[in-house]
């Protein structure tokens, strides 16, 4: 569903992403892990059109989207959350999600909003101002809003950050339900328990380069990954 082939990003003389290639298939969760500053969010920004690439190709369901504007990628079925929360802070939780449903021209935005808030476990917060939420709840609002556009590819940038243990377990269960419905999920996350439990495939990014890729159990034992990120086998 998503093919990222040889993407390179430069900021002046700094190469932030160096020929990175990843794939995300429908019905699977692809993890993208690595140390802080490895280039994970930058790669997300390129995939979603926020940041132009200096080289490489991005395809969505076989169509080259490398030079398409962000909103056109969204209309084609791509949605994301952000490492740094990007909610409409003066709107209620429900209105944050309803905005996305309306922009996607869903037939019943209110019903979809209620369904998604219930699905991510925060329906009791529907009338709360988004600016009053703790970080964990705010991240779940972003997930619900991203789903309101009924994407085919969902990119999540550290969605478990700020969640407690039970919320993290629930998030993992939700993501497995979503891919069971045919969605392709790409997950940037530092919670290795979550990554190893729910991902079908993991790619490791270090200093802008993919240094390992494969099933989680295989990737976690590779010496280069242990040295660069995990620290233990």
2 and 68 fall within a common domain: yes
DSSP state for residue 230 in the 8-state scheme: I
Supply the range of the domain harboring residue 216. 1-77+152-166+177-233
Task: CATH number of the domain at 57, please.
Answer: 3.40.50.300
DSSP state for residue 125 in the 8-state scheme: G
The reply to whether 96 falls in a domain is yes
The reply to whether 171 falls in a domain is no
pLDDT in tens, 90-110: 999 999 999 999 998 888 999
Residue 83: count other Cβ atoms within 10 Å of its Cβ.
Answer: 15
Place of tokens 């998604």: 116
The reply to whether 82 falls in a domain is no
Q: What angle do CA 74, 158, 167 make, to 5 degrees?
A: 110
Give the residue among 222, 59, 81 at the shortest CA–CA distance from 162.
Answer: 81
The reply to whether 172 falls in a domain is no
pLDDT in tens, 114-132: 999 999 999 999 999 999 9
145 and 38 fall within a common domain: no
What is the domain count for the chain? 2
**Structure-block tokens of residue 106:** 């869903």
Q: pLDDT tens string for the chain (233 positions)? A: 999 999 999 998 889 999 999 999 999 999 999 988 899 999 999 999 999 999 999 999 999 999 999 999 999 999 999 988 999 999 999 999 999 999 988 889 999 999 999 999 999 999 999 999 999 899 999 999 999 999 999 999 999 988 889 889 999 999 999 999 999 999 999 999 999 999 999 999 999 999 999 999 888 888 888 887 765 44
Whole-angstrom distance, CA of residue 77 vs CA of residue 96: 19
């Amino acid at each position: 569903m998503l093919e990222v082939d040889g993407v390179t990003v430069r900021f002046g003389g700094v190469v932030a992403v160096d020929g990175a290639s990843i794939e995300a298939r429908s019905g699977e969760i692809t993890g993208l892990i690595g140390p802080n500053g490895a280039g994970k969010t930058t790669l997300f920004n390129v995939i979603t059109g926020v940041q132009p690439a200096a080289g490489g190709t991005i395809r969505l369901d076989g169509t080259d989207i490398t030079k398409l504007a962000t909103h056109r990628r969204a209309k084609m079925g791509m949605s994301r959350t952000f490492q740094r929360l990007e909610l409409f802070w003066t709107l209620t939780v429900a209105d944050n999600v309803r905005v996305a449903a309306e922009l996607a021209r869903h037939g019943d935005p209110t019903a979809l909003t209620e369904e998604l808030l219930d699905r991510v476990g925060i329906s009791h917060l529907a009338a709360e101002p988004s600016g009053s939420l703790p970080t964990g709840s705010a991240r779940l609002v972003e997930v619900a809003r991203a789903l309101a556009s009924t994407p085919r590819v969902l990119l999540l940038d550290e969605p478990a950050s700020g969640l407690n243990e039970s919320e993290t377990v629930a998030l993992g269960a939700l993501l497995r339900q979503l891919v069971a419905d045919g969605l392709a999920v790409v997950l940037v996350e530092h919670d290795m328990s979550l990554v190893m439990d729910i991902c079908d495939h993991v790619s490791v990014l270090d200093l802008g380069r993919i240094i390992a890729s494969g099933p989680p159990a295989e990737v976690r034992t590779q010496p280069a990954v242990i040295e660069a990120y995990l620290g233990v086998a």
